[in-house]
């Protein structure tokens, strides 16, 4: 068992990449969660009526249900999940599919038209480069086989953010500031100052 002094030292050395801190900062502060989502997805989102950290939908005794690091529903019909992943367990694509399935179940109420489906957005912030290509962002898309120029809109956006990317040319300044903060703790704009 760890002593109090060891735990205290670990807490003082923890950064935003510590799951407890990440969940506390973004899962319990609507303004910071909104800012994070807008910087990651480079799109405006609404105000969050529902926002939770460590949100669990484990209401089934047999089948797996995920526990979300941060989960939010805005007033523009977006359901958003952002996960911090510090180690590569070599199951990320399958994990995203399960998380997506759980969000999809909440995207349409009984009796609604399929055109009323809420948009679901999932982001995994990875402290490793899943595909080893040094790209800062990997957007997962659904296309028609043999016709990859045809994008299929299923009402979902799944993105893997590589926090270890070094080639940041052409990226928006607010995203670069966020990435720098995650990796170094350096505050360089109003948003990272608010997070800090």
CB 64 within 8 A of CB 27: no
User: Could you give the CA distance from residue 101 to residue 138 in angstroms, rounded to a whole number?
Assistant: 20
User: Could you give the CA distance from residue 182 to residue 178 in angstroms, rounded to a whole number?
Assistant: 6
The pLDDT assigned to 184 comes to 95
Measuring CA to CA, how many Å separate 46 from each of 16, 21, 90, 99, 113? 24, 24, 34, 22, 22
pLDDT exceeds 90 at position 85? yes
pLDDT exceeds 90 at position 6? no
Query: Which range is least confidently modeled, 55-59, 81-85, 175-179?
Result: 55-59
What mean pLDDT, rounded, does the chain reach?
91
Give the pLDDT mean for 46-72. Answer: 73
Query: Which range is least confidently modeled, 27-36, 64-73, 76-85?
Result: 64-73
The pLDDT assigned to 62 comes to 46
pLDDT exceeds 90 at position 12? no
Instruction: Please name which of 111, 104, 119 lies closest in space to residue 74, comparing C-alpha atoms.
Output: 119
User: Could you give the CA distance from residue 185 to residue 17 in angstroms, rounded to a whole number?
Assistant: 10
């Amino acid at each position: 068992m760890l002593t109090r002094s060891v735990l205290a030292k670990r807490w003082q050395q923890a950064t935003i990449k510590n799951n407890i801190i990440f969940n506390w900062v973004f899962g319990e502060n609507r303004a910071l969660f909104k800012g994070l989502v807008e910087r990651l997805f480079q799109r405006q989102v609404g105000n969050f009526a529902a926002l939770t950290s460590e949100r669990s939908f484990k209401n089934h005794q047999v089948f797996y249900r995920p526990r979300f690091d941060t989960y939010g529903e805005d007033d523009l019909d977006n359901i958003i999940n952002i996960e911090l992943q510090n180690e590569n367990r070599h199951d990320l694509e399958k994990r995203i599919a399960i998380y997506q399935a759980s969000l999809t179940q909440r995207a349409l109420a009984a009796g609604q038209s399929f055109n009323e489906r809420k948009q679901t957005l999932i982001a995994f912030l990875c402290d490793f480069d899943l595909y080893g290509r040094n790209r800062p962002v990997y957007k997962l898309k659904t296309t028609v086989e043999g016709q990859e120029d045809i994008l299929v809109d299923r009402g979902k956006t799944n993105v893997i953010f590589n926090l270890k990317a070094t080639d940041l040319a052409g990226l928006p300044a607010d995203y670069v500031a966020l990435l720098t903060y995650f990796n170094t703790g350096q505050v360089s704009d109003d948003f990272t100052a608010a997070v800090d």
